[in-house]
Amino acid sequence: MSERLDTNLVTELLHSKYNAWLDDMSKRDGAELVSFELDVDKYPEQDFRVTKVEAEDPYKNIPDAIYYQGFRLRWMRSMGAIAYNQLLHQLKTQPTSSDDSRPLLSRLQQDRSEGKNTMIVTSHFSFPELGYFKALRFQARHDRPDITNNGVVINKLMTRQSYKGKPLVEHFKMGSNLYFSYPKTASSEKFDIPEDIMLAGNRLMLRDLVSDLRRGGQEIDIALTGRQIVPVRSDIGSVDRYDIPDIDPSSVGLVRLFDNVLGATIIRSPIDGKIKMEIGELIDIKDRLKTNSPEELVDQIYLPVAESVERITGVETTYQKLGRVAVGQG
């Protein structure tokens, strides 16, 4: 059997499993993403062999002044004008850490110019929130010239979904490279995504990601949990608590590939309906790993996230430490 035929069969098998998953997602309350059929001729990123899509500015001939105004209006419509301006100001005045009072954005730009790579870990409730922190950074720095130094790791499943009439890939690649992963989650197990395909796909994705990281100056958004924060509801439908999803041990090793890591939480509060953001401290990975394991470092990213979610929502939030000790934030 030829390699060409093998990969075609892998693609067909993978997407046959995705069909049930996508159908289930479309029936969930508040579903915002619309699924579409497998068509690798029209959407080549659906092919198993395609592990990366390059960033592409679709508005190359539009002057910066008009471009950024249009970008601003788009996100103001999504977040609300007041929230957008407040969050943008918050980001611009955010210090790097408790030990470094320099503006975070200045430090990130300096690290980029020095060839350092930064992992951005953002937690969210819904799909639009996934892009908010990236959009705010993009606008605050006027990142248009640096889109090829920005990246986002997304589930291969998302090559079969659209948002507001446009494929998700098209939304993301306007401002960053895309890398397609196969996270091991409760849903991937429920819908029987073959583990050998996920392992092989992640190896291929890492090949492209590592190649770009070797160039240096990359800022990559990764949800190490592989999914959004999960509400746990009572019998009457109210939220009893929120759970930070378990992190697969295979995802932990990703932190070793980067120089720095930054955790952030940006969600719409169920209390007042306003979008709230809390940004953690920029962590020097190599320095932190001198006295901590990668697992402990990931815990240091996500424990503050759980605390942020609890402050914003007023609801108990749990994070299952990688040492398998349950921690409730209260």
Q: What is the mean pLDDT of residues 14-33?
A: 91
Note the pLDDT tens digit of each residue in 262-318. 999 999 998 999 999 999 999 999 999 999 999 999 999 999 999 999 999 999 999
What was the pLDDT predicted at 27? 86
- 2 pLDDT higher than 50: no
Note the pLDDT tens digit of each residue in 209-227. 999 999 999 999 998 988 8
Single out the residue of 49, 55, 36, 39 nearest to residue 8, CA to CA.
Answer: 49
Q: What is the mean pLDDT of residues 159-176?
A: 95
| 6 or 207, greater pLDDT | 207
What was the pLDDT predicted at 108? 97
Which residue ranges make up each domain of the chain? Answer: 51-329
Handedness of CA 12, 14, 16, 19 (dihedral sign): negative
- 206 pLDDT higher than 70: yes
| CATH fit for domain 51-329, picks 3.30.70.20, 3.40.1130.10, 3.40.50.2000, 3.40.50.1260 | 3.40.1130.10
Residue 234 — pLDDT band, cuts 50, 70, 90? confident
Residue 174 — pLDDT band, cuts 50, 70, 90? very high
Q: How far is it, in rounded angstroms, from Cα 179 to Cα 257?
A: 15
Between the CA atoms of 301, 306, 308 and 313, what dihedral angle is there, to the nearest 10 degrees?
Answer: 160
Q: How far is CA 84 from the centre of its chain?
A: 19
Angle between helical axes of 81-93 and 104-113 (0-180°, round to 10):
60
